[in-house]
Structure 1
Amino acid sequence: MSEKIELEAIVPGEHTGKRLDQVVALLFSDFSRSRLQAWIKEGAITVDGKQVKPREKLYGGENIVIQATIEAMEGHEGEDIPLDIVYEDDDILVVNKPAGLVVHPAAGHRSGTLMNALLHHYPDIAVVPRAGIVHRLDMDTTGLMVVAKTIQAQTELVSQLQERTMGREYEAVVQGVMTGGGCVEEPMGRHARNRQKMAVVTMGKEAVTHYRVLHKFRAHTHVRLKLETGRTHQIRVHMAHINYPLVGDQLYGGRFRMPKGASEETQEMLRGFKRQALHAKKLELWHPVTGELMSWEVDLPSDFKALLDVLNTDSQQSDQFDQSTF
C-alpha cells in the first residue's frame, strides 16, 4: 500500500529571500520538516521543473511541485486485537489503553501491540508514520492515548507535543506519605549502567513533572500528575528520584517495603500489585484540523480502584486502633 502526493504552489512575494526548505515548510505545513527535507533531496520537490538544493534562495513567483509517494510500513501485520475507543473522527482516534498492551513492536514484543491492532482496524493508517502513534504509554500503564489517522493530523499533533500545548494528566499511587504537592524539574537520560532504565542525569534532556496530593493514606499517597515534557518513564523516574516510587513499579520501585501493622488484605494487595500504579486519566489537545480544544477523561481501571479501596480501609482501621488506645 502506498499514497501518492501531488501538490503545487506558487511562492508568494512575502517569502522572497527565504531558502527552499523554509518556504516548503510554510507552504506545505501538513508535512513534517524532516519529510519535506527528504523529498527535496530525493528530487520529489522541484522548483520551476528543476531540482534545487534545500538551502537555495527563492525570489517569489516560482512554481513548486511535489510529486512523492509515501510507502506503507513494512514488517508489521495487523492483528484483530480489541480497542477501547473513547473518541473517533476522520482525523484522530482516542483510545483507553489497558495494562499489558505494548504500544509499539520492539524486541520481545513483535506482535500483540497497539500498532498491530491499529493496522488491522484501520488499514489506511499504514501510510502514516508509526501508524499514527504520536506518544506512548508504558506496557503496564493504563489510560488515554491519541492516534493520528492521517499524515496531516500526525504532523500537527507532534507539533503540539513539541510545543507543550497538549495536556496530559495522570493519577498514581506512590509509596510514602507526601506532605504536599510540588514540581520535579530534573533532566533525564539513559541510566549509566542499566540500559533498560532511565535516570536523572546532569547532562540529560529537560524533564518537568508537576504533582499534587489527592489523598493521603497511612503509608501511601494518591497523587495527580501533569507532564510538561514527555520523557521515557518520566513520572516513574521523577517520583523515585524524590523517594516516592510508584506502588508496583518493578523497575524503579526499589526494595519492597510493607507498612508496619498492615492487615492481611493490605499485604496481599501490595504483594500482588505487579504493575506500576499509573493511569493516564485526562487528555487535552487542539483538534489538528478544526482547531477546537478537546478534552477527555476516563475512569481508573478496576485494579487501581481496588488498590485505593484497600489502602483506604487500612488507614481507617489504623485510625480506629489509634483512637481505641486512649
Structure 2
Amino acid sequence: MVFNISKDDEGKRLDNFLKFEKGFSTRLIKKITKNDCVFINGKIAWADDILKEGDIVEILLKENKEQDIMPEDIPIDIVYEDEDILVVNKPPFMVVHPTKSHQSGTLANGVMNYFNKTKQNCIVRLVNRLDRDTSGLVIIAKSQFAHQAMAKMFEKNKVKKEYIAIVKGKMEGKGTVDLPIDRPSLDSVKRCVIEGGQRAITHYEVIGSSEDVSIVKLILETGRTHQIRVHLSHIGHPILGDELYGEKSNIIQRQALHAFRLTFNKLRGEDLVVCTANIPQDMLEILKKYNLDFQEDTYE
C-alpha cells in the first residue's frame, strides 16, 4: 500500500496517520512497524516518525497463509473485486464458513479455491455473514488491514445494507422498527425483542403487496443476529418460510430474505462502490405467483 502525504497530514505522527486517517488498528500498526514493513521515502520507518508534505509512505502487508480451510472447486458468483476485498453473491442453502456439522461445501471453501487459482496470497476473512438460508452479498477481505477497515466501516454504519424480504400478509407503508434484541436465555438460538437487549434499528418500505404476501425493502442501521427476521415477526409479518420466527411454507424451502445491495467507499480512494445481487429464482417464483413486480432500477 502506498500513501502520498498531503499538506493536511504534515506534522502528524506516522502511527496516528495510519490509525485515524487510514483505519489501521493499533495492533496492526505495532506489528508492521516492529517487523520493518513500513517505509517513508524508501527508508524503514518508526511509529513516532513525523510526516512531511510530499512524503511517500509504503506498507508491505505480509499475509499469514495458515488457515484450515480446504479449497474446493465450488462456483462462486463474484459481484465485485479490487485489491482489498472480494464481494460474492451467496446462494441460499450454503453455509458461509466451515463448522463441525458443515466441514465442506461452504462459501469459504469456494473462495479459498478461487484465491489459489488466481494466485492471490490470501486467506478467507469474512467481513459479514449471512444465515445458511439467507441469500445475497458477502464481503471477504484480502488482508488483515482490509478486514479491520471494513469492520470499522460496518461498526460506524458507513456501509449501507439493503435487503429484500417477502413477508406474510398484506403490509403497507414504510417506517422504522427501533426495538432491542437479545437471547431469552444463554442457550437459545432464537432471538426476541426484549427489554435491556441490544439496540436494533430496521427501516422498511413496502414496494408491493397482495392479500397474502408483501415484498419489503429493508435497510439495516444496526447488525444484530437475526435482526430483520425478529423485527418483522414482532410486527406481525414474519418472513415467508422462516420456521424459526414464523412457520414452514409450502412454496419456499427457506426464509425469503435476500441481502440485495451494499454501498460503501473504497478503502483506497473515495470512489463509491455499489454492489447488487440479483433476486434468486425461488423468490422470483413467489412474486410471479402473486403477480408482484420487482424492478431493480426502481429500488432506490
Task: Specify the TM-score bucket, using the shorter chain as the normaliser.
Answer: 0.7 to 0.9
Q: Please point out which of 255, 258, 261 is paired with 1:276.
A: 255
Which whole-Å CA distance do the structure 2 matches of 1:13 and 1:295 have between them? Answer: 33
Which whole-Å CA distance do the structure 2 matches of 1:38 and 1:203 have between them? Answer: 38
Residues 35-61 of structure 1 show CA distances to partners (whole Å, capped at 9, x for unaligned) of: 446789xx769xxxxxxxx9xxx7979
| TM-score normalized with structure 1 length | 0.71
| TM-score normalized with structure 2 length | 0.77
Which structure has the greater CA radius of gyration?
1
SS at match of 2:177: strand
Structure 1 gap segments, 5+ residues each: 6-11, 46-53, 257-269, 314-326
> Displacement of 1:24 after TM fit?
6.5
Map of 1:45-64 to 2, 5 A cutoff?
none
State the aligned residue count.
273
1:200–1:126: structure 2 CA closer, same or farther, 3 Å change rule?
Answer: farther
Greater helix proportion: 1
Structure 2 gap segments, 5+ residues each: 2-8, 37-46, 52-58, 293-300
Map of 1:306-317 to 2, 5 A cutoff?
306-312=285-291
User: 1:143 matched to which residue of 2?
Assistant: 136
Amino acid at match of 1:191: P
Which whole-Å CA distance do the structure 2 matches of 1:164 and 1:187 have between them? Answer: 17
Which whole-Å CA distance do the structure 2 matches of 1:37 and 1:190 have between them? Answer: 37
User: 1:300 matched to which residue of 2?
Assistant: 279
Query: Is 1:157 matched up with 2:111?
Result: no
User: 2:298 matched to which residue of 1?
Assistant: none
Q: Is the Cα–Cα contact under 8 Å of residues 184 and 209 in structure 1 kept in the other structure?
A: yes
> Displacement of 1:79 after TM fit?
1.3
Which whole-Å CA distance do the structure 1 matches of 2:122 and 2:270 have between them? Answer: 23
Q: Please point out which of 152, 156, 160 is paired with 1:167.
A: 160
> Displacement of 1:165 after TM fit?
1.1
1:114–1:15: structure 2 CA closer, same or farther, 3 Å change rule?
Answer: same
Amino acid at match of 1:218: E
SS at match of 2:287: helix
Q: Please point out which of 16, 25, 28 is paired with 2:19.
A: 25
> Displacement of 1:177 after TM fit?
1.5
> Displacement of 1:91 after TM fit?
2.5
Which whole-Å CA distance do the structure 2 matches of 1:210 and 1:67 have between them? Answer: 41
Which whole-Å CA distance do the structure 2 matches of 1:150 and 1:241 have between them? Answer: 39
Which whole-Å CA distance do the structure 2 matches of 1:281 and 1:95 have between them? Answer: 11
Say what the alpha-carbon RMSD is for the aligned residues: 3.5
Q: Please point out which of 186, 192, 196 is paired with 1:199.
A: 192
User: 1:80 matched to which residue of 2?
Assistant: 73
1:126–1:101: structure 2 CA closer, same or farther, 3 Å change rule?
Answer: farther
Which whole-Å CA distance do the structure 1 matches of 2:192 and 2:107 have between them? Answer: 26
Which whole-Å CA distance do the structure 1 matches of 2:90 and 2:230 have between them? Answer: 21
User: 2:85 matched to which residue of 1?
Assistant: 92
SS at match of 1:103: coil
User: 1:239 matched to which residue of 2?
Assistant: 232
User: 2:214 matched to which residue of 1?
Assistant: 221
- What is the percent sequence identity of the aligned residues? 36
Q: Is the Cα–Cα contact under 8 Å of residues 18 and 24 in structure 2 kept in the other structure?
A: no
Which whole-Å CA distance do the structure 1 matches of 2:270 and 2:10 have between them? Answer: 28
> Displacement of 1:303 after TM fit?
0.8
